């Protein structure tokens, strides 16, 4: 009987990256994504999906065009996964166009590319490719080859997350062994299929189909009680599902059940219900089931002429669908029923057709098995030869290594001790040099900051006070001699006022009072406010600043931010600068971002000290700095260790 083959094919092709939506709409959507794709890998993936969409519409020329482009992009990549993915898509297109030989070639190439790759994505693609290659062999009627491929990957599928692929493989294995009339081998896979359907969230349709498959297997194994049990379970799920094409299969198998119970009248009524549902839900695979059951019931009733007609319909469908494993038994049935109906001439014709067709299939399968054995033999010979060469090479290497180790053992011992001493001495020297470098650098920076602080105090308390007194005296002089020298003195007073302000600004830049009096956050806020210019906005934000570190570290952080802000103001030509500072335990984070013109680090003059000073301070605080100026504007991120 027809059984499960077409059901398995439909279930398998669902794995071929097909979505339940209009394929033209899917192709158009993918083309829009393709226009925006930025990499060859993305283009290859999208073109493969577009190719599948066109193949599902029957536009195979367009499908092959996109698949070829996908393969060309994929082969530019060093990682073989992308080429394997493109060949997988190409194999699916050949499958959909029923070019099984070409599909098998593409799947085989994809499997070879993925065979030794343990990456999760590569393994998933390898499994899908193997499942589809097995289906291609099934479609060519090489069920043993297809089954061997599925059995090879079944343990990995069982452990994996893709339960749909696992269920499809169980389903197909059971179908393959049923087709080969190896019913005991099909039985355990069918039980696992049912167990998986009952344990997962499979819908009523999936469960009903599993029960119907099991019912058919029980019919072949002459287990009436199990057949009735699975039909009862299928009936429960189909009632949940409602009107559906699967009722055709149910009534067809119900007729077989009645036939085993010697209730031919009920069997005939079940056949009528099957064809009634087939009329409402036309479907090729259930049409096979309906005609197979009707043929069996008619033959059991002795109506051989009617059974002959049903067998002829089945043979015609199998010939159209290129399914030789079902054409062959149909030819034999036609010969048998024609003879029983008294048409010996027709029986002879179809018996001859059956014999010739069977010989042709046997020759093909024999040639295939011989080729398989020859390939296995050649592979085994090559592997044995390689293993022998490797064994000899390994033995020679071991012997040489043993002799070398024996002669150099004592020398290596003394060399090892000598090198260890030298290595330890070098490490100690490097440590001392590094410590010395850090101490010198810290001393230089500390001395620089002390000198700046001293100079700031002198300027502020000395010269600043004197200039302020001059301004006061001149102001009094202006009030006494307003009519005579007011204009000149006013100008002088203004200049002195600007000098005082400039002096104070220099003093604050060298050692801001707010840093010493109010802390780092306030000092940085003042720095940003004072650096603002017309048309330039500077925003400062501080988050979780504990400032539980030394004054020297605060000054270094202040100098880093000061240098970055002044550089942005001077060179960025920006309208907005954002400064963010935050602290997390022993780490201090600085972000300075502007919307200016950006810059290239390579274009900075060698004599420029700005970023070099920043880098030196970052290094002294065991920090790191990242500068991104690639997309317009500049973003500088700094991480400092302040513990």
373 pLDDT more than 80: no
Is 16 domain-assigned? Answer: yes
| Averaged pLDDT for residues 8-27 | 50
Is 616 domain-assigned? Answer: yes
DSSP per-residue codes, 49-118: HHHHHHHHTT-HHHHHHHHHHHHHHHTTSSSHHHHHHHHHHHHHHHHHTT-HHHHHHHHHHHHHHHTT--
Query: What pLDDT score was predicted for residue 14?
Result: 40
Is 6 domain-assigned? Answer: yes
Query: What pLDDT score was predicted for residue 600?
Result: 76
Is 632 domain-assigned? Answer: yes
Beta-bridge partner residues of 538? 577
Which of residues 148, 175, 202 is at a domain's end? 175
Which range marks the domain in which residue 622 is found? 517-641
pLDDT band at 2 (very low <50, low <70, confident <90, very high): very low
How do residues 487-517 score in pLDDT, each as one tens digit?
556 666 666 676 666 666 666 666 677 777 8
Q: What is the CATH number of the domain that holds 68?
A: 1.25.40.10
Number of domains into which the chain is organized: 2
How do residues 572-595 score in pLDDT, each as one tens digit?
888 999 999 999 888 999 999 999
User: What is the per-residue burial (b if ≥16 Cβ within 10 Å, else e) of 348-379?
Assistant: eebbebbeebeeeeeeeeeeeeeeeeeeeeee
DSSP per-residue codes, 313-347: HHHHHHHHTT-HHHHHHHHHHHHHHHHHTT-HHHH
| Averaged pLDDT for residues 519-527 | 89
- In the three-class reduction of DSSP (H, G, I as helix; E, B as strand; rest coil), residue 543 is classed as strand
Out of 13-22, 467-476, 571-580, 605-614, least confident range: 13-22
599 pLDDT more than 50: yes
Q: What is the CATH number of the domain that holds 600?
A: 3.30.565.10
As a whole number of angstroms, the distance between CA 509 and CA 527 comes to 8
Both tokens of residue 173? 């294995």
389 pLDDT more than 60: yes
Out of 131-140, 148-157, 164-173, 402-411, least confident range: 402-411
Is 106 domain-assigned? Answer: yes
- Looking at beta carbons, which pairs linking 35-43 to residues 24 or more positions away fall under 8 Å? 40/73, 40/74, 40/76, 40/77, 41/73, 41/74, 41/77, 41/82, 43/69, 43/70, 43/73
Beta-carbon neighbour count of residue 567 at 10 Å?
19
Location of structure tokens 């001395």:
447
Both tokens of residue 66? 């996109």
pLDDT top residue among 151 and 78 = 151
How do residues 212-247 score in pLDDT, each as one tens digit?
989 999 998 888 899 999 999 999 999 999 999 999
Which of residues 120, 154, 175 is at a domain's end? 175
Which uninterrupted H or E stretch holds 581? strand 576-584
As a whole number of angstroms, the distance between CA 468 and CA 478 comes to 15
Mean pLDDT highest for which of 149-163, 306-320, 386-400, 428-442?
306-320
| Closest by Cα among 126, 108, 109 to 117 | 126
As a whole number of angstroms, the distance between CA 552 and CA 549 comes to 8
Query: What pLDDT score was predicted for residue 1?
Result: 39
H helix count then E strand count, the chain: 24, 5
pLDDT band at 437 (very low <50, low <70, confident <90, very high): low
Beta-bridge partner residues of 22? none
Which of residues 115, 149, 175 is at a domain's end? 175
Beta-bridge partner residues of 639? 589, 624
- 84 in Cβ contact with 125 (< 8 Å): yes
DSSP per-residue codes, 474-505: HHHHHHHSHHHHHHHHHHHHHHHHHHHHHHHH
Beta-carbon neighbour count of residue 569 at 10 Å?
18
- In the three-class reduction of DSSP (H, G, I as helix; E, B as strand; rest coil), residue 203 is classed as coil
8 pLDDT more than 60: no
Out of 8-12, 185-189, 395-399, least confident range: 8-12
Out of 290-299, 344-353, 423-432, least confident range: 423-432
Is 448 domain-assigned? Answer: no
| Averaged pLDDT for residues 130-146 | 87
Is 38 domain-assigned? Answer: yes
Both tokens of residue 284? 């090729």
| Averaged pLDDT for residues 95-124 | 87
Is 496 domain-assigned? Answer: no
């Amino acid at each position: 009987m027809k059984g499960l083959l077409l059901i398995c094919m439909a279930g398998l092709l669902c794995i071929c990256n097909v979505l339940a939506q209009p394929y033209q709409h899917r192709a158009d959507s993918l083309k829009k994504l393709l226009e925006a794709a930025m990499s060859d890998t993305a283009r290859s993936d999208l073109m493969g999906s577009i190719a599948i969409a066109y193949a599902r519409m029957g536009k195979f020329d367009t499908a092959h065009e996109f698949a070829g482009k996908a393969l060309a992009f994929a082969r530019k990549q060093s990682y073989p996964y992308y080429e394997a993915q493109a060949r997988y898509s190409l194999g699916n297109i050949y499958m959909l166009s029923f070019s099984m030989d070409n599909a098998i070639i593409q799947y085989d190439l994809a499997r070879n590319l993925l065979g030794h790759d343990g990456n999760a994505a590569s393994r998933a693609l390898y499994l899908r490719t193997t499942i589809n290659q097995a289906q291609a062999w099934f479609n060519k009627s090489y069920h043993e080859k297809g089954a061997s491929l599925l059995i090879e990957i079944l343990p990995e599928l069982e452990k994996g997350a893709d339960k749909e692929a696992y269920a499809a493989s169980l389903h197909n294995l059971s179908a393959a062994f049923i087709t080969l009339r190896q019913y005991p081998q099909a039985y355990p896979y069918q039980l696992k299929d049912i167990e998986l359907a009952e344990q997962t969230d499979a819908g009523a349709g999936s469960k009903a189909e599993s029960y119907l498959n099991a019912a058919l297997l029980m019919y072949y194994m002459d287990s009436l009680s199990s057949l009735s049990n699975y039909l009862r379970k299928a009936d429960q799920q189909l009632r949940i599902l409602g009107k559906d094409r699967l009722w055709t299969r149910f009534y067809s198998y119900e007729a077989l059940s009645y036939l085993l119970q010697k209730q031919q009248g009920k069997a005939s009524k079940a056949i009528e219900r099957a064809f009634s549902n087939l009329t409402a839900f036309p479907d090729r695979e259930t049409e096979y089931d309906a005609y197979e059951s009707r043929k069996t019931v008619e033959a059991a009733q002795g109506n051989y002429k009617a059974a002959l007609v049903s067998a002829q319909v089945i043979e015609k469908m199998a010939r159209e669908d290129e399914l030789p494993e079902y054409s062959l038994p149909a030819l034999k049935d036609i010969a048998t029923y024609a003879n029983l109906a008294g048409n010996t001439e027709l029986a002879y014709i179809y018996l001859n057709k059956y014999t010739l067709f069977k010989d042709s299939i046997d020759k093909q399968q024999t040639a295939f098995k011989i080729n398989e054995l020859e390939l296995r033999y050649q592979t085994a010979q090559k592997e044995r030869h390689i293993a022998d060469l490797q064994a000899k090479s390994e033995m020679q290497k071991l012997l040489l290594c043993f002799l070398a180790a024996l002669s150099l053992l004592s020398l290596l011992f003394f060399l090892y001790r000598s090198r260890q001493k030298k290595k330890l001495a070098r490490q100690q020297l490097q440590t001392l040099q590094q410590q010395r470098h850090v101490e010198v650098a810290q001393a230089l920076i500390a001395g620089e900051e002390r000198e700046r602080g001293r100079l700031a105090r002198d300027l502020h308390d000395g010269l600043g006070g004197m200039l302020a007194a001059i301004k006061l005296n001149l102001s009094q002089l202006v009030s006494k001699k307003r009519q005579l020298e007011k204009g000149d003195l006013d100008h002088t007073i203004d200049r002195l006022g600007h000098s005082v302000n400039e002096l104070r600004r220099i003093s604050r830049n060298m050692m801001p009072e707010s840093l010493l009096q109010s802390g780092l956050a306030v000092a940085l806020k003042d720095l940003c406010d004072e650096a603002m210019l017309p048309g330039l906005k500077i925003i400062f934000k501080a988050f979780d600043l504990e400032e539980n570190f030394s004054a020297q570290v605060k000054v270094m952080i202040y100098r880093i931010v000061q240098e970055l802000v002044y550089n942005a103001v001077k060179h960025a030509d920006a309208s907005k600068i954002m400064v963010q500072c935050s602290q997390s335990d022993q780490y201090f984070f600085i972000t300075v971002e502007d919307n200016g013109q950006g810059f290239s680090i390579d274009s900075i003059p060698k004599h420029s000290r700005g970023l070099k000073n920043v880098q030196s301070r970052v290094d002294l605080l065991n920090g790191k700095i990242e500068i991104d100026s690639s997309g317009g504007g500049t973003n500088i991120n700094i991480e400092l260790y302040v513990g």
